[in-house]
């Protein structure tokens, strides 16, 4: 089924969960009569009772690969990066999905994990199907089989509300994969509120029938990232070019050490000093 058709089948008003009446220009709630605009074929459910969220310009350019600076930065990250995942938890999660399952990615940015995945984000990147807050989605209760949450919780001020929303939209037996930083530098997009430990993830997903927390990016990635960030910040004085140069030059000398995490990934206690953790929970 096409993504747009599947989306309209499960979409409801994010305010009262009433049915939506669709037109080319809007989606109107049959319950509370709220009208949500459709702009450039993307339904917009954001900014309903507060100021619009603004994205960092550079991060937006990086995610959309729009400017020469962003393209150079993305190319550099492919060659020299502080991040290494010995195991692709999201890939494994997606490969377990059946062909008819309804899958939603919250905070998708400019990517689509697979055809048919419904992408929700705050910003209208390419590949985004609708705009909505992760803690208040226009998705029918119990209508989703899988949810992907890739480094999103640190960017919301009340992460427990996002997890509660995921619990609401998942059917019984549905599951979620959640990646979140633990020992990781500040990265505001648009804000960075929290890093979360294993205990924190287990607490957030306590309503689920089971929750498994594992290391996604290990201690060496954390160390390389922190050292390169330290040098970049020390040299930059709020100059983004100097920051990127300082971090990039440091990574040239350090980035190969991150592959030691292939060994650390087999050590359960690496979760105590991991750069990023992965939680897989089932409702």
Structural domains present in the chain? 53-282 (3.40.50.150)
CA distance 195 to 29: 36
Q: Parallel, antiparallel, or unpaired: how do β-strands 26-29 and 20-22 relate?
A: antiparallel
The pLDDT of residue 73 is 63
Q: pLDDT category, 70, cuts 50, 70, 90?
A: low
Task: Compute the distance between CA of residue 260 and CA of residue 253 in angstroms, rounded to an integer.
Answer: 15
Residue at token pair 């089932």: 282
Residue 84's nearest CA partner among 272, 222, 227, 234 is 222
Whole-prediction pTM? 0.88
Asked if 4 contacts 38 with a C-beta cutoff of 8 angstroms, the reply is: no
According to the model, what pLDDT value does residue 50 have? 47
Q: What is the percentage of the chain residues whose pLDDT exceeds 90?
A: 70
Could you report the per-residue pLDDT of 212-266, keeping only the tens digit for each?
999 999 999 999 999 999 999 999 877 888 988 898 899 999 999 999 999 988 8
Average pLDDT over residues 32-61: 74
Greater pLDDT, 277 or 109: 277
Residue matched to tokens 């995942």: 85
What is the signed CA dihedral for 46, 48, 54, 55, rounded to 10 degrees?
-20
Distance (Å, whole) CA 62 – CA 77 = 11
Instruction: List the Cα angle 192/131/161 in 5-degree steps.
Output: 50
| β-pair partners for 180 | 277
């Amino acid at each position: 089924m096409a993504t747009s058709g599947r989306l309209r089948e499960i979409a409801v008003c994010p305010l009262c969960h009433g049915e939506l009446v669709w037109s080319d220009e809007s989606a109107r709630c049959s319950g509370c009569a709220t009208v949500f605009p459709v702009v450039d074929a993307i339904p917009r459910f954001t900014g309903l009772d507060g100021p619009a969220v603004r994205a960092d310009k550079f991060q937006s350019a990086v995610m959309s690969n729009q400017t020469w600076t962003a393209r150079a930065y993305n190319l550099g990250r492919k060659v020299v990066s502080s991040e290494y995942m010995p195991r692709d938890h999201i890939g494994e999660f997606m490969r377990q999905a059946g062909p008819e399952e309804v899958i939603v990615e919250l905070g998708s940015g400019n990517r689509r994990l697979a055809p048919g995945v419904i992408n929700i984000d705050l910003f209208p990147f390419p590949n985004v199907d609708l705009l909505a807050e992760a803690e208040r989605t226009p998705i029918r209760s119990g209508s989703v089989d899988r949810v992907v949450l890739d480094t999103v919780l640190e960017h919301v001020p009340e992460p427990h509300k996002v997890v509660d929303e995921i619990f609401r939209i998942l059917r019984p037996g549905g599951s979620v994969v959640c990646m979140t930083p633990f020992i990781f530098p500040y990265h505001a997009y648009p804000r960075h509120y929290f890093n979360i430990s294993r205990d924190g993830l287990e607490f957030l997903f306590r309503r689920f029938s089971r929750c498994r927390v594992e290391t996604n990016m290990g201690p060496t990635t954390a160390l390389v990232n922190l050292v390169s960030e330290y040098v970049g910040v020390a040299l930059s004085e709020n100059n983004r070019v100097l920051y990127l140069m300082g971090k990039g030059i440091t990574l040239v000398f350090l980035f190969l050490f991150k592959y030691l995490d292939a060994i650390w990934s087999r050590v359960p206690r690496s979760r105590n000093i991991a750069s990023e953790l992965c939680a897989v929970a089932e409702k």
